[in-house]
Structure 1
Amino acid sequence: MKKTAAAKKAASAHRGASAKKAAAPAKRAASAKKAASAEKATPVKKAAAARKATSSRKATSSKKAAPAKKAASVKKAPAAKKVVVAPKKAAARVKAAPAKAVVHPPGDESRTALVRRARRINRELAEVFPYAHPELDFENPFQLVVATVLSAQTTDLRVNQTTPSLFAKYPTPEDLAAANPEEVEEILRPCGFFRAKTKSVIGLSKALVEEFGGEVPGRLEDLVKLPGVGRKTAFVVLGNAFGRPGITVDTHFQRLVRRWQWTGETDPDKIEAAVGALFPKSDWTDLSHHVIWHGRRICHARKPACGACPIAPLCPAYGEGETDPEKAKKLLKYEKGGFPGQRLKPPQAYLDAGGRPAPPLGAG
């Protein structure tokens, strides 16, 4: 009985083991199928997970971008204000510089520096042109005022070629006041604008006879009342015939003082006031001669001879003309001889036998 029970138990155990062994391949096959299905599903899940992650990142970036945009808009606001304000300041500076050159010198130069530079330029020019003087021939104030009126829109050389015949025939204001206009026009024809100039010189001669007893007045307010006489002509007469200081603002003077940035004014009267404030009154007449001579001989309107200019280190406009020394020398205007000079003559041409500057012709 006992053996039978044990045999039954062993047989059942054997059957269970064999069943397990038989079931093992089935389980392995099932697990293999499950793993295969899982492997097939993995790319799909991964793709879904990737899409989910991408969407979440986009959402996150969009959330972060919103404050960034707000911050950018906040930051841009001050920038917009700067853009609006900056041009106003720049425009104000541009307008302020040339407004009143006496108070506001052009550029960044201080008032004191401008005065020092201007006076040094005048000293340098005085050494270059110690013989500078009016280049109109005259023997008395009457001849000077007439010659200065005739010099408008022409050269001093042309006037000096014309006035000898005029003064030989009409030596006094009384003679010219009673002259036949047609005869005077014929004499003045080479000067250009001869009809208008004839009317002026006859008119001023009559005014001298009727209002001043045939004498040229020595006051500015009287001179400017004469026909054809403005402030420029009046200062030429006052400075060179009466020894009273004055600034002659002709075309050369205007061009150079603006080129040197002494003033930004364009009106002759304002230029006169601005430049006059930079110098002692006693320097005004000689200053006018120095500047005009320099403008006629070296600092020309179209081709300034920068490379041969004695004041080049002091000139803000250096480089507007020829800077090569050899080429610049060819631009200098020389005269072979004789007076007056529309062209630069060597300094020794103006020296007397003792080596001293010769006195200006027409000065006495």
Structure 2
Amino acid sequence: AAAGAAVAGAPPTRPVVPALAGPFLPAPEPAGTAAPCEPAAAPVRSLESTGFYADPAFSRPDPVRLRADADAARPLLDWLALVQRAVARHRAGEAGAASCALSALDAWAKNAALLGAFNLQGGYHRKWTLAGAALSFLAIREAPGLDPVALGRTGRWLGEVAEAVRPHYERQSAAIISDVRNNHAAWAGLAVAAAGVAGGNRAQLDWGVARLRAQLGQVDERGVLPQEARRAAMALHYHLFALEAVAALERLAAANGLALTEPERAAYARLRDLCLAAAKDPSMMEAIAGAPQSDPWASPRGPLASANGLEIASVALPDPASEEALAPFRPFASRWLGGAVTGWWKPGEGPIRPAAAGP
């Protein structure tokens, strides 16, 4: 038999436990007959798109440009959807589903996807796509029977994409609203950190966690992120969006023994509390931002229906108010958070490091 081939009748081998831990609970043991994989999606190597806000506060989307941007990014979302349908089947215990997810990821790795030319808006989509892809990889990488060559190649490729994402968020910016300080920086941190865990690159994980600490360092005594409060009508949307990356990064950090300081955990709790209160009563954010809240992506069911960050935060910082508010809207899911959110993030607060220890 060829090297690495399975022995007939023997149970499938599991990959070596990775040096860096993922943030998800394990899936059940696969069982049954493997279903065929869906056809692969064409790799996207480069992407250019156009920003859609029509005002300096980035609070009034132009509908035509918004649709054009969504159309440009659709192949990325369609690919993530393909990967995450297989991840969902794996989490339901279906044999072969993890291999389907890995095959879809590896097809892009083999074709150097996401490593071509990206303009500013295209780069934002690359970053979010990397976050969703890396987290999806972490959800399946320890399944039995996966191709070790594909695992290694995909992990390395995710790290290469992370290195392409990093430079934009390492530059200096004095802008009043800046993507090196606002929710974009948090999402870059999540994308690079998740890719770092996927590829065993501790420096990338540390880079991402530094963005987590920077976000928490901006939270004021009210729980407000000043960068997002400047977004006028979109302030609530962007607080909730920033919290998604913050909450996911905190779980990824905790899984790898990277503790928040006491002041950081207090800031996290304030941000969570503000987001929960404002999602229940948007007039609270109107008073903070000085504008009625309006969100083109909002669910008809209200802000809580898409509060993925609150759901992840409830795992780290459980409290009855969050549970009561979120329960009617479960299950939560997000392409950029690896698919299913409810029920899969590892629980526990993680260690709290004394403030004097520093980052």
Give me the TM-score of the superposition, normalised by structure 2.
Answer: 0.25
Select the structure of larger CA radius of gyration.
Answer: 1
Give the number of the structure with larger relative contact order, counting CA–CA contacts within 8 Å between residues 6 or more apart: 2
Larger helix fraction of residues: 1
